[in-house]
Structure 1
Amino acid sequence: MTEKTLPEHLPYRPCAGMMILNKKGQVFVGKRIDMVSEHWQMPQGGIDDGEEPLDAALRELDEEIGTRDVELVHCLEEWLTYDLPNELIGKVWKGKYRGQKQKWFLFRFLGEDQDINIVTHHPEFSEWKWAEVSEIPQLIVPFKRDLYETILQRFAPKL
């Protein structure tokens, strides 16, 4: 096993992450269109300069799943980070970042399944589904599992 060497000089990319619950308490996950793997993720996206994290989260929901029909349940106060694996450093985000620092939001979806449209202007997901909370860590790409387990722990009282 090779030791991970992080480019310490690279910053984390500011990002908003969204955990969306349906009426049954299941979580929205999507399969990334640019990955040839069986892994899923919750919606997330970069925060533009001068943009508030909540505004970025709502914009990203519209861009990634075609709807903002949600209500905010909770927001984590702290920023959470993850590092990219060595094989992705320099290949994603134009090589500018070592990983992401994320502000996470818990939303309740108010619409119906047919309101979700992943065929957006710049599609991010090839497919989507509702998953049980307990399934989430096993569905996620391995380098984000610790992050997702932390998110689930922090949101647990609100689920």
Structure 2
Amino acid sequence: MDEFIKLLDSGLDYVNHEIIGDTIVIHVVSNKEEVICPYCGCASSKKHSVYERSFQDLPVMGMKSKIILSNRKMFCINPECSHTTFAETFSFIRPKAKKSNRLLDRIVDVSLNVSSLNATHILKNGIADVEKSTICNLLKKRYTHSGERQDH
């Protein structure tokens, strides 16, 4: 299972998993020695605290997946920085997001070919729990009125 987690991010380590209904719940932790402050760019290895962050990702073996990440909050050691603490960030998911970037891409791919209501039914059948309003909002954020993709 650790190999699957490394595909998401090499900075993660597999802890354990459990199957709950049609979903595999995977617990992971960061293995990064240092974390870069997003506000000043200074590296820090000084941990403030840890909290659980959960999000949906692409299916694993035909099951929906939920990843629970032990996310670290770090102290910024730069006295010139405007923030004393910051949360560890990852390239595969935006801050505070509940779905990985690659799952969002899959949702958009499915939604472009069918109505948002049909996309909801297709996605809920083994891919991810997603509502019609989420699909509509995601499509609005991703595409301008001219149909070109926006990079946010």
Q: TM-score, normalised by structure 1?
A: 0.27
Q: TM-score, normalised by structure 2?
A: 0.28
Structure with more contact order per residue of length (Cα contacts < 8 Å, sep ≥ 6): 1
